[in-house]
Chains A and B, each alone.
Chain A
Amino acid sequence: MDVKQTRYAEDLRLIEKYLGGDEYAVEELVMKYQRKVYSLAYRMTGDIEDSKDVTQKTFLQVFANIRGFRKKSSFYTWLYRIAMNTCLNHLKKKGNDTLELNESIAGSNGNALPALIKEERSSFIRGSLKKLPDRQKTAVTLRAYEELSLKETAEVMKCSEGAVKAHYHNGMKRLKEILSASADSPGRKGEGI
């Protein structure tokens, strides 16, 4: 059995345990996945408090709906799906106010990506990622960070593998454009990206 299969079997065992009345299985499942969910939320929101909020909400959603979990997919792709939806809802509710902050960081540094110090560079890349449309942002985040295969990403996003490829490709293309535009044009100060 490979790592993913072992993980799958263990998740199922914990879910059965919980459904059988053992509420401590909740703690085990949360402990197992909380860092993953938190990281995912941070990649999507770029804010610590938002990520904590999203992580907690995700797990509450998971246990509120666990009877609806069909064992056709793996638990963690199902969990990721709930986490992603919670993130996107959270971002929608919050609007784009944090985006401007990242933009101004990028703008005030002459827009030259290689010249940015490490922290600003991270913030700039994160800010660029946040600017992508929801589907592209989700595909790029899941593929780039979560070690999910095309098939698993398609499961999380509830679309075909072909659609995942397209969203991922368009998202990466747009990111490249954003990053190269900012690196190539040191003169366009204050224009943003």
Chain B
Amino acid sequence: MRPGHEEIKDKLPEYISTGNIPDDVKEHLRSCDKCSQEAFLLQELNKVQVPEPGGLFFETLPQKVRASVRQKKKGFLFRFVPVFTLIALVVVTGYIYHTITPPLTEEELFTDPFAIQVFDLSGLSEDDIPPISVDIADDEIYLTEETSLYREFASLSSEEMEDLYEALEIKNRNGGVL
């Protein structure tokens, strides 16, 4: 059976680029304007020459790609090497720093906030620690922000304490109301 217009149109690019045009297709091209115009355009497109890349491009590309692929493969294996190196470096540096750093002087011990951990208290006796004395006048004790609730209680006389107990008991009996 003769190939129809649609079939030829679909296969034209293959016919033209291979230069292999069957006779019945040639016959169709003579009678069909659409197909012959398309064949002409395809021929024009196929006339466009591709210049040589030069510079031994095709001779060197296969090796270049192989070398690059090998590099990538290695890269995959050693991808985590920098991370391990970094961790090892931090550990070693810390160890070296710890072993070669001279002990802190007494002054450094007081100014260095991290030195508190190495501050040796074993040689101190009770007398070496100065007593902490707070001078507060009796009338300053009450209701200042610095004083605690316990101090407030401590300042009560025994009668006042009894009154307070009594009041609290009444409050308890009344369900929280004095």
Q: Which residues of A contact B (CB under 8 A)?
A: 23-24, 26-28, 30-31, 34-35, 38-39, 42-43, 48, 51-52, 55-56, 59-60, 63-64, 118, 121-122, 125-126, 129, 140, 143-147, 149-150, 165, 168, 172, 175-176, 179
Contact = CB atoms under 8 A, between A and B. Distances in A.
16 contacts: A26-B66, A27-B66, A30-B61, A30-B62, A30-B66, A34-B61, A43-B50, A52-B57, A63-B65, A118-B47, A121-B44, A126-B48, A145-B45, A147-B18, A172-B38, A179-B41
Contact of B48 (A125, A168, A172): A125
A27 B53 contact: no
Contacts of A39: 50
A122 B48 contact: yes
Nearest to B43: A144
B65 A48 contact: no
Among A28, A63, A64, max chain B CB count under 10 A is at A63
B95 interface: no
Interface stretch (B68-76, B97-105, B128-136, B137-145): B68-76
Contacts of A129: 45
A5 to B, nearest CB: 17
Q: What are the nearest 8 A-B pairs in CB distance?
A: A27-B62, A30-B62, A143-B13, A26-B66, A63-B69, A42-B50, A59-B65, A122-B48
A81 B37 CA distance: 29
The residue among A26, A122, A146 with the most chain B CB atoms within 10 A of its own CB is A26
A116 to B, nearest CB: 11
A144 B57 contact: no
Contacts of A179: 41, 44
A35 B41 CA distance: 24
Contacts of A34: 58, 61-62
A172 B38 CA distance: 8
B14 interface: yes
Given A27-B66, A125-B47, A147-B18, 8 more contacts: A30-B61, A51-B53, A56-B64, A118-B47, A147-B14, A172-B38, A175-B41, A179-B41
